């Protein structure tokens, strides 16, 4: 086993280290979600924590790590006698992004269960992580059903595996730590709420601190064992402090004053549900125990709020995380009747042994990051005084998007086999059963009726004359299922002067933001291509971060001619590259334009030829017609025909639109006729 980077050698990242230590003191806090840019020691700190946890007594030979003092009465390897355990280090189990459901919860051998009547169960990662740490790197990239299983097990402290009437249950209590880069997409708010604490991490911009990060990392890479030995005393001190805090935790008193502050804070920040109040109470109690106190103080409640509330305030992916600390202080002051004793003891009586002590810390060196969230679309050249110079028609500053709305469902026709999502029909592991086939590899979802039908004709030849059924391996049938997949939704947005001249850009941006919100809810990847003036640009390469797309769109300037052909060709090139990276994910191209083409030579003919490339490739497309005014040319409808797609107006895009409803009814009537 390789020597982990010492926890106390991590430079900075005070909130991250504190959140991890609080969960080590009190696993009931509910785990930590670590959000931050790449190269910020997220993984290093989590892996280092496992070395600080006290050793765990286990029943010898038990695959589920039962506690010999209190063995699980329902353990599949049980029953166990009380006592006689052995100690081993606490485990840190990593869940890879591509893990299957069977790898996570364990696999029941259905073939042996049916053919031999044997209930053979192979434990999964949840069993391995029991009484240890379960670490999920890039948790936002996990399939939703895996995240649901993971968080349900964390909440209930047990894992259940049920297949065709055969069930297995085992204990699964672990410290759940997830890390994610927000640029690669967000978790749903419902899933965010299931993590007890959240921490935002970023690389230091202080040169001296960055130098220390690099110095420690290079020293560790040269001699891991020697580097770890130099931090052994600090590691032992923190380990001892964790043990002491665990012993003190049951004696910590959470008074009514602190409870009122917790409730008032959650109400002031309009947090949904009651989980936040419970997590704050547990976190404040753990903070007091970590500080060596038996009373919860106002400062504990404040720190608990900063760790437990920011991610619970996000109601859509465009909300910025964080808390208004002035509002927090005002709330605590209004409801603060000194919840602790009058003499405020030092909240950290032994700072040298904690995460902020002399071991202070440094992890993986963080690379320099470029500007984040800025507009990468076409921009005019700056003239004297930094003023933008016009390109073609007059340059217009960016306008704000109008309020988003619920959009009609736009989907890719046919049946795909892409990643799990909520947009288009696809063959998936979860969904309604549509048929059966012979299993390819391990049988996971048994189609019982098809299996019985396959076995029934052979009963006499197998010597069965009475009731019952003899089932052999060749009779087993795998259920085929149909669910929904996530798609690549590529937005091609016209930002030219013809779109902005009638001040429609606010409505257009509002429509695109609405579609982005829909893409977030349906678990799609999104990309953004804009065209105006001299050409087209990829404002955002395909990504799972729809809030990044919204930020780019918000700062998008308008003006200039309409190089429609350039926009379509750029989108076609983006799709070509993306098909090489992710061939199973089908694309939906959404072109937002009034259909005019004025940029470049023979603009109309070039746009027509570019559109026919999409039709030839069979790419699903929708044109959002932004034309307005009393005289309409219908150019967007013509473009949709050449793309081989459909056209909808801004009014028809709304799910509750009267115009859209009438069009749907008329289309249904024509199909019925």
Catalytic residue among 169, 188, 260, 275: 275
- The predicted-structure confidence for 147-167, as pLDDT tens digits, reads as follows 888 878 887 889 888 766 667
Euclidean distance between CA atoms 356 and 374, whole angstroms? 34
Rounded CA separation 238/9 (Å): 12
Backbone angles phi, psi at 355, to 5 degrees: -70, -15
Query: Does residue 480 share a domain with residue 456?
Result: yes
In a domain? residue 235: no
Closest CA to 52 of 7, 2, 1: 7
Output the DSSP codes for 112-137: HHHHT----EE--HHHHTTTSEEEEE
Are residue 665 and residue 520 in the same domain, yes or no? yes
Tens digit of pLDDT for each residue in 73-121?
Answer: 888 888 888 888 899 888 889 988 778 888 888 877 766 666 666 667 7
Q: Is the pTM of this model over 0.85?
A: no
Question: Is 563 domain-assigned?
Answer: yes
Separation CA 137–CA 97 (nearest Å): 7
Q: What is the pLDDT of residue 110?
A: 67
In a domain, residue 579? The reply is yes
Q: How far apart are CA 341 and CA 335, in angstroms?
A: 16
Q: How far apart, in whole angstroms, are the C-alpha atoms of residue 202 and residue 269?
A: 25
> What's the pLDDT tens digit per position in 433-455?
888 888 877 777 778 788 888 88
Instruction: Give domain status of residue 633, yes or no.
Output: yes
> Do 471 and 497 have their domain in common?
no
d(CA 324, CA 244): 34
Of 42, 34, 366, 49, which Cα lies nearest the Cα of 200? 34
Q: Is 297 helix (H, G, I), strand (E, B) or coil?
A: coil
Q: Looking at the structure, do residues 474 and 607 belong to the same domain, yes or no?
A: no
What per-residue confidence (pLDDT) applies to 455? 85
Handedness of CA 221, 222, 225, 227 (dihedral sign): negative
Query: What is the pLDDT, as a whole number, of residue 500?
Result: 65
Distance CA 637, CA 303 (A): 57
Residue 590, SS3 per DSSP? strand
User: Could you report how far apart the first and last alpha carbons of the chain are, in Å?
Assistant: 71
User: What distance in Å separates the CA atoms of residue 419 and residue 137, rounded to the nearest whole number?
Assistant: 19
Q: What is the pLDDT of residue 492?
A: 93
Of 94-103, 273-282, 300-309, the one with minimum mean pLDDT is: 94-103
Residue 241 has pLDDT above 90, yes or no: yes
Could you tell me the two tokens for 336?
């603060």
From 440, 466, 484, the end of a domain falls on: 484
**Residue 321, pLDDT above cutoff 70:** no
Task: Mean pLDDT check: name the lowest of 234-238, 290-294, 426-430, 485-489.
Answer: 426-430
Contacts of 439 (CB under 8 A, 6+ apart): 476, 477, 478
Final residue before a domain boundary, out of 484, 503, 522: 484
Residues 539 and 441 in one domain: no
- Is residue 522 domain-shared with residue 455, that is, in the same domain? no
Q: What is the pLDDT of residue 610?
A: 94
Note the pLDDT tens digit of each residue in 326-383: 899 999 988 876 444 444 444 444 444 444 443 444 444 444 433 333 333 333 333 3
Q: How many CB atoms lie within 10 A of CB 54?
A: 14
pLDDT at 651: 87
Report the chain's mean pLDDT, rounded to a whole number.
81
Task: Give the orientation angle of helix 275-290 with respect to helix 256-268, to 10 degrees.
Answer: 130
Question: Would you say residue 200 lies in a domain?
Answer: no
The percentage of the chain sitting over the pLDDT mark of 90, rounded to a whole number, equals 31
Q: Are residues 625 and 533 in the same domain?
A: yes
* Closest CA relative to residue 510, chosen from 319, 661, 654: 654
Domain co-membership, 493 together with 641: yes
What is the residue-wise DSSP string for 389-434?
PPBSBPPB---PPPPP-PBPP---SS-B--SEEEEEEEEESSSEEE
Work out the percent of the chain whose per-residue pLDDT is above 70. 83
Place of tokens 């964390």: 154
Helix segments in 29-182, DSSP class H: 42-50, 101-105, 110-115, 125-128, 144-156
Q: How many domains does the chain have?
A: 2
Q: How far is CA 506 from the centre of its chain?
A: 30
Residues 591 and 619 in one domain: yes
On the question of pLDDT at 26 being above 60, the answer is: yes
**Average pLDDT score over residue span 487-515:** 82
The Cβ of residue 647 has, within 10 Å, a number of other Cβ atoms equal to: 20
Closest CA to 548 of 540, 559, 556: 540
Pairing outcome for strands 166-171 and 158-163: antiparallel
d(CA 203, CA 42): 11
- Do both 602 and 665 map to the same domain? yes
Tell me if residue 275 is catalytic. Answer: yes
CATH number of the domain bearing residue 610? 3.40.50.410
In a domain, 548, yes or no: yes
* pLDDT tens track for 544-581: 877 788 888 888 878 888 899 999 999 999 999 999 98
Sheet arrangement for strand 32-36: 92-94, 133-137, 175-180, 32-36, 197-201
Count CA atoms closer than 13 A to 392's CA, side-chain side: 21
**Encoding tokens for residue 308?**
């437990």
Among residues 228, 181, 178, 131, the alpha carbon closest in space to that of 32 is found at 178
Task: Read off the pLDDT band of 509 (50, 70, 90).
Answer: confident
Max CA pair span of the chain? 97
Residue 659 has pLDDT above 60, yes or no: no
590 and 458 part of one domain: no
pLDDT at 114: 63
If asked whether residues 453 and 538 sit together in one domain, one would say: no
Q: 79 preceded by cis ω (within 30°)? A: yes
Domain containing residue 456: 426-484
- Residue 607 reports pLDDT greater than 80: yes
Residue with tokens 């992710």: 582
Model confidence at 43, in pLDDT bands (50, 70, 90)? confident
Paired tokens of 173 = 């209590």
Q: Residue 352 and residue 255: Cα distance in Å, rounded?
A: 29
pLDDT digits (tens, 9 = 90+) for 194-240: 789 999 888 888 899 899 999 999 999 999 999 999 999 999 999 99
Per-residue three-class SS string for 596-642: CCCCCCCHHHHHHHHHHHHHHHCCEEEEEECCCCCCCCCHHHHHHHH
Of 484, 510, 525, the one marking the end of a domain is 484
| Residue whose pair of structure tokens reads 């197998």 in the numeric block | 462
How far apart (Å, rounded) are the C-alpha atoms in residues 140 and 488?
Answer: 17
What residues have CB less than 8 Å from 68, skipping those under 6 apart?
57, 58, 59, 80, 82, 83, 84, 85
The strand order across the sheet containing 488-494 reads 535-543, 525-532, 488-494, 587-593, 620-625, 646-649
- The contacts of residue 208 (CB under 8 Å, 6+ apart) are none
Is the pLDDT assigned to residue 247 strictly greater than 50?
Answer: yes
> What tokens were used for 15?
């909130």
Q: Residue 523 domain-assigned? A: yes
β-pairing verdict for 478-485 and 432-437: antiparallel
Q: Tell me what the mean pLDDT of segment 521-528 comes to.
A: 86
How many alpha carbons fall within 13 Å on the CB side of residue 525? Answer: 22
Are 284 and 296 within 8 A, CB to CB? yes
Residue 238 φ/ψ region, left for φ over 0, alpha for ψ in the -120 to 50 degree band, beta for the rest: alpha
Token pair listed for 358? 């002399």
Residue 274: inside a domain: no
């Amino acid at each position: 086993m390789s020597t982990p980077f010492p926890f106390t050698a991590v430079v900075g990242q005070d909130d991250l280290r504190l959140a991890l230590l609080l969960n080590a003191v009190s696993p009931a806090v509910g785990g930590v979600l670590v959000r931050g840019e790449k190269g910020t020691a997220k993984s290093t700190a989590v892996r280092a924590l496992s070395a600080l946890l006290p050793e765990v007594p286990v029943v010898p030979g038990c695959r589920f790590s039962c506690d010999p003092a209190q063995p699980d009465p329902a353990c599949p390897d049980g029953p166990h006698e009380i006592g006689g355990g052995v100690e081993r280090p606490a485990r840190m189990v990593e869940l890879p992004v591509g893990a299957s459901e069977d790898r996570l919860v364990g696999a029941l051998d259905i073939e042996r269960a049916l053919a031999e009547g044997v209930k053979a169960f192979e434990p999964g990662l949840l069993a391995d992580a029991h009484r240890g740490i379960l670490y999920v790197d890039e948790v936002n990239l996990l399939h939703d059903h895996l995240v649901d299983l993971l968080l349900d097990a964390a909440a209930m402290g047990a894992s259940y595996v049920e297949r065709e009437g055969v069930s297995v249950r085992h204990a699964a209590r672990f410290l759940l730590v997830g890390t994610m880069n927000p640029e690669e997409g967000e978790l749903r708010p419902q899933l965010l709420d299931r993590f007890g604490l959240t921490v935002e991490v970023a690389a230091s911009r202080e040169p001296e601190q960055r130098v220390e990060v690099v110095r420690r990392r290079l020293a560790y890479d040269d001699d891991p064992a020697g580097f770890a030995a130099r931090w052994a005393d600090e590691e032992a001190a923190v380990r001892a402090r964790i043990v002491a805090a665990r012993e003190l935790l049951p004696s910590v008193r959470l008074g009514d004053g602190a409870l009122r502050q917790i409730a008032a804070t959650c109400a002031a920040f309009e947090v949904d549900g009651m989980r936040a109040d419970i997590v704050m109470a547990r976190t404040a109690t753990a903070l007091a125990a970590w500080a060596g106190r038996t009373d919860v103080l106002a400062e504990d409640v404040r720190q608990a709020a900063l760790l437990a509330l920011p991610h619970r305030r996000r109601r859509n992916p465009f909300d910025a995380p964080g808390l208004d600390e002035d509002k927090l202080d005002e709330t605590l002051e209004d409801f603060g009747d000194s919840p602790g004793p009058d003499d405020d003891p030092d909240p950290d009586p032994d700072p040298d042994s904690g995460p902020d002590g002399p071991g202070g810390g440094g992890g993986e060196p963080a690379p320099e990051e470029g500007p984040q969230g800025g507009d990468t679309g076409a921009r005019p050249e700056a003239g004297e005084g930094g003023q933008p110079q016009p390109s073609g028609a007059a340059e217009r500053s960016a306008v704000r998007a109008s309020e988003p709305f619920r959009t009609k469902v736009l989907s890719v026709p046919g049946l795909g086999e892409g990643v799990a999502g909520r947009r288009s029909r696809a063959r998936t592991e979860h969904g309604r059963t549509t048929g059966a086939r012979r299993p390819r590899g391990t049988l996971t979802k048994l189609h019982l009726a098809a299996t019985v039908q396959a076995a029934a004709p052979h009963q006499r030849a197998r010597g069965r004359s009475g009731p019952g059924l003899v089932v052999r391996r060749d009779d087993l049938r795998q259920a085929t299922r149909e669910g929904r997949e996530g798609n690549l939704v590529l937005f091609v947005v016209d930002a030219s002067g013809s779109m902005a001249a009638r001040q429609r850009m606010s409505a257009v941006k509002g429509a695109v933001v609405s579609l982005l919100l829909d893409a977030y809810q349906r678990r799609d990847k999104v990309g953004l291509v804009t065209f105006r003036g001299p050409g087209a640009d990829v404002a955002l390469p395909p990504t799972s971060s729809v809030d990044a797309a919204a930020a780019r769109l918000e700062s998008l300037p308008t003006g200039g001619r309409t190089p429609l052909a350039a926009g379509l060709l750029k989108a076609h090139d983006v799709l070509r590259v993306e098909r090489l990276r992710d061939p199973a994910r089908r694309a939906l191209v959404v072109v937002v334009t009034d259909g005019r083409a004025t940029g470049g030579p023979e603009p109309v003919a070039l746009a027509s030829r570019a559109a026919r490339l999409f039709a030839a490739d069979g790419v699903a497309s929708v044109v959002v017609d932004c034309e307005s005014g009393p005289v309409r040319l219908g150019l967007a409808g013509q473009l949709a025909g050449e793309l081989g797609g459909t056209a909808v107006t801004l009014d028809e895009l709304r799910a509750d639109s009267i115009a859209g409803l009438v069009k749907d009814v008329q289309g249904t009537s024509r199909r019925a006729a």
